[in-house]
Chains A and B, each alone.
Chain A
Amino acid sequence: MNSAVDNSTAEIVRRLGVAVTRRFGGAARVEDVEVATLGGSNRTLLFNLVEGAATRRLVFRQETYRLGHSPFIAPSAQFRLLKIAYASEIPVPEPVFEFEPADQLGRGYVVAYVPGETLPRRLITDPRFSTARARFAEQAGALVGRLHRIEPAQAAFLAETPDSLDPIAAQLARLDYYGEAHPAVELAVRWLRMQPRPTARRCLLHGDFRNGNLMMGEEGIRALLDWECAHLGDPMEEFGWLCLRSWRFGELDKPVGGLCERAPFYAAYTAASGIEIDPDAVRWWEIFGFVRWIVLNIMQVHGHSTGVRRSPAFAACGRNTCLIEYDLLMTLLGHYQ
């Protein structure tokens, strides 16, 4: 965290203070603001909401830009999903309030702060998280199972998003928008179109369920974060994404995010959801997941190259694209599992 607050952020904090008093009364105030880093398309601030003797640590999340063909759902949809998930006892940060036009804060919301660790390498290797790792298969499987049991009609507002309507077409539309030619993506899409398309039930999917988006403590999972890729789809899509080689960080014998093997995770999922795993469908969605991950990296470097949001990390995404393409091809060849 960077505790320095620049001038533009100071104005945001002032407006946040007004927004807080509108909701919690004139005595409520904002204190101890920290600027969180590494947000690609959002400004994220941590702050204390002080009401008399009570203090709550909260997170301010504001959309800072929106590219054409964005793969991310609007903040208002994210906030609605957080409320649905919270009411369904999915571990998510408690949604506190959404910005309104009178707040002059643009699009975004405030949620409760959940302390913990999200960095995958620490979660995978640090001895402090050995208990969390031992519990991960059961906890994560049950969590996704409960998520997929949510009645999709509750999230009907996601039904018309590109990723809900036609996931392959959504990726190709984005790739064309970025204007890059990637034969590996086209080859994989051709492979996907030639295979029987999984046609299972439709569920509410988190869409980015993986290490990095799970707030973990030493005891295990505390919260599922970052709902900006949520959509409706085949539940097996969630596992194709989660089991991508890209999230294993060298722990190749632990395909579930480098944290556990598939069997115990799937068993916990089926026990919680009543949905059986279809390995062929998971494989189809894993190939699709590589395509999606490649396109997301191209998006990041597109934002950098066009000057919308420049950073070394986004520049590096462009040169990471071929590493994902290589993993994709080696998986198609059967060399990688």
Chain B
Amino acid sequence: MSPETLQDQPPVPGIMRVVREFLESIIDQVPDADRYHAMCCVYLMNVAERELAVDPVAPELKQRIDAFLGEIRPLPDAIQEFSVGLREGRCDARWDETFALVLAQVVAKVQVSKPDHLQPIHRK
């Protein structure tokens, strides 16, 4: 048994991996009509595996957003407030700082979705 869970082997990352590896092994045998969806499944399993390996709260990013907004909030609320502030022009005077923070948030998402998409400077 894994020390973090009641459940037996394999742990969730292992389940994700074996499903993905099986999908990858059969992709060339999938009929044309379904192959694109099968490839999307592989992609999504890869995303899920990476997401399980990171802290979903993204503490460093959250700290930056909280500091920018001057208030501590749950991450979804902070991103919502950040978006509203941007739309209303409240961040215009801090453009460079705002841009850097938006880029950091996007990079953190891409690192989970498809890290190969990032330029080397943004890869971990």
A42-73, CB < 8 A from B: none
Say whether A320 contacts B86, CB under 8 Å.
no
**Would you call A271 an interface residue if the criterion is a C-beta within 8 Å of the partner chain's C-beta atoms?**
no
- Given A182-B83, A186-B83, A186-B87, A322 and B40 touching (CB < 8 A)? no
Say whether B109 contacts A187, CB under 8 Å.
no
Report the interface size for chain B: residues with CB under 8 A from the other chain. Answer: 38
Say whether B33 contacts A316, CB under 8 Å.
no
- Given A183-B79, A183-B86, A38 and B36 touching (CB < 8 A)? yes
Q: Give the nearest-CB partner of B47 in chain A.
A: A319
Contact of A323 among B92, B105, B110, B119 (CB under 8 A): B110
Say whether B79 contacts A313, CB under 8 Å.
no
Q: Which residues of A contact B99 (CB under 8 A)?
A: 187, 329, 332-333
Say whether B113 contacts A181, CB under 8 Å.
no
Instruction: Give per-residue flags for B83-117: 1 if the beta carbon is below 8 A from chain A beta carbons, else 0.
Output: 11011010110000011011101110110011001
Q: Which residues of A contact B2 (CB under 8 A)?
A: none
Contact of B33 among A37, A181, A313 (CB under 8 A): A37
Say whether A311 contacts B37, CB under 8 Å.
yes
Q: Which residues of A contact B40 (CB under 8 A)?
A: 311-313, 315-316
- Mostly, the B contact residues are helix
Report the interface size for chain A: residues with CB under 8 A from the other chain. Answer: 31
Q: Which residues of A contact B47 (CB under 8 A)?
A: 319
Contact of B44 among A189, A312, A326, A332 (CB under 8 A): A312
Chain B: minimal CB distance from A72 (Å): 21
Q: Which residues of A contact B86 (CB under 8 A)?
A: 183, 186-187, 190
Contact of A1 among B33, B87, B114 (CB under 8 A): B33
- Given A1-B33, A190-B89, A323-B113, A329 and B106 touching (CB < 8 A)? yes
Q: How far is the CA of A182 from the CA of B80 in the complex (A)?
A: 8
- Given A183-B82, A187-B98, A322 and B87 touching (CB < 8 A)? no
Say whether A190 contacts B92, CB under 8 Å.
yes
Q: Which residues of B contact A2 (CB under 8 A)?
A: 31, 33
Q: Which residues of A contact B105 (CB under 8 A)?
A: 183-184
**Would you call B27 an interface residue if the criterion is a C-beta within 8 Å of the partner chain's C-beta atoms?**
no
Q: Which residues of B contact A325 (CB under 8 A)?
A: 106, 109
